[in-house]
Amino acid sequence: MRTTRPGQTGQVAVTARLVQTSVPKNPIGVVVVLHGGASRRDDEAVSWRQLSVLRMIPIARRLARASRHELAVFRLLNSSRGWDGDRTPVDDVGWALDQLRERFGTSLPTALVGHSLGGRAALLAGSLSGVRSVVALNPWVYPTDGDAGLPDRRVLVVHGTDDNVASLAKAETVARALARTTRVGFVRVKGGNHSMLRRRPTFEGLAVDFVMATLLDRPAPGALTEAMDGGWVDA
């Protein structure tokens, strides 16, 4: 999808894209999967070939399978790599939610699942209309990102202990701040690295099970049981 948005000098092109993973005939909820990826001076455009985008395909597919044809699952490809002041991934999430409301109406609850900068975008966009739950996987955040709060949302942060790109300590700081206004679960994945290639089934399983619990009211298994109640656990 390509569209435009109002700007100070007229209409500004929006090149974010929604990629459909699975859309059942009568979905009862929607999931939007958000990729990460730092900016590069020589290539600001988002490509479906970049690793940060490819990394989220298995998660989107697993969400679609687990939902048993009850959830519509999409991946969002951002307008550009990284995070800048002109248009951030949060703006792209807002655009995507507008597109989905036009397609499905305003009544379907939505979950945001993001990795790295996509995890930050999920947390910062979690207050947008229609969002019920947020999963942030190894989120790359600033300590102040939790100041706005996410009242009435369900939040899960999953962070690898061996992540050398996104700070575990900063993620914990943001989660504690968010916990002042909403229920936040935090799972530390022992040995998990930033790419989630180490302990990949754990990262994916926690994200999928949390979405199934928050959008479809399914029981939360294993370590997620305590995290659903706002607990901080190791996996």
Is 2 inside a domain boundary? Answer: no
What CATH code is carried by the domain that includes residue 224? 3.40.50.1820
**For the segment 14-73, what is each residue's pLDDT rounded down to a tens digit?**
588 999 999 999 999 999 999 987 655 555 776 666 767 788 999 999 999 999 999 999
Please state the rounded mean pLDDT for residues 84-113: 92
Is 9 inside a domain boundary? Answer: no
Is 90 inside a domain boundary? Answer: yes
Is 6 inside a domain boundary? Answer: no
Return the exposure string of 130-143: e unless at least 16 CB atoms fall within 10 Å of the residue's CB, then b: bbbbbbbbbbbbee
Asked if residues 233 and 223 have their Cβ atoms less than 8 Å apart, the reply is yes
Using a 10 angstrom Cβ sphere, with 0-12 exposed, 13-18 middle and 19 or more buried, the burial of residue 183 is: middle
Asked if residues 196 and 115 have their Cβ atoms less than 8 Å apart, the reply is yes
pLDDT at residue 212 tops 90: yes
- State residue 41's pLDDT score: 57
Please state the rounded mean pLDDT for residues 158-178: 97
Whole-structure pTM value: 0.91
Is 202 inside a domain boundary? Answer: yes
**For the segment 126-158, what is each residue's pLDDT rounded down to a tens digit?**
999 999 999 999 999 999 999 988 999 999 999
Please give the tally of structural domains in the chain: 1
Is 11 inside a domain boundary? Answer: no
Is 5 inside a domain boundary? Answer: no
pLDDT band, residue 2 (cuts 50/70/90): very low
Q: Please report, rounded to a whole number, the percentage of residues in the chain having pLDDT higher than 90.
A: 77
**For the segment 175-187, what is each residue's pLDDT rounded down to a tens digit?**
999 999 999 999 9
> DSSP label at 75?
E
pLDDT at residue 232 tops 90: yes
Domain assignment of residue 157, given as a range: 16-234
Neighbouring C-beta atoms of residue 123, cutoff 10 Å? 29
pLDDT band, residue 215 (cuts 50/70/90): very high
- State residue 87's pLDDT score: 77
Is 137 inside a domain boundary? Answer: yes
Six token digits for residue 189: 């994945």
Q: Please report, rounded to a whole number, the percentage of residues in the chain having pLDDT higher than 70.
A: 87
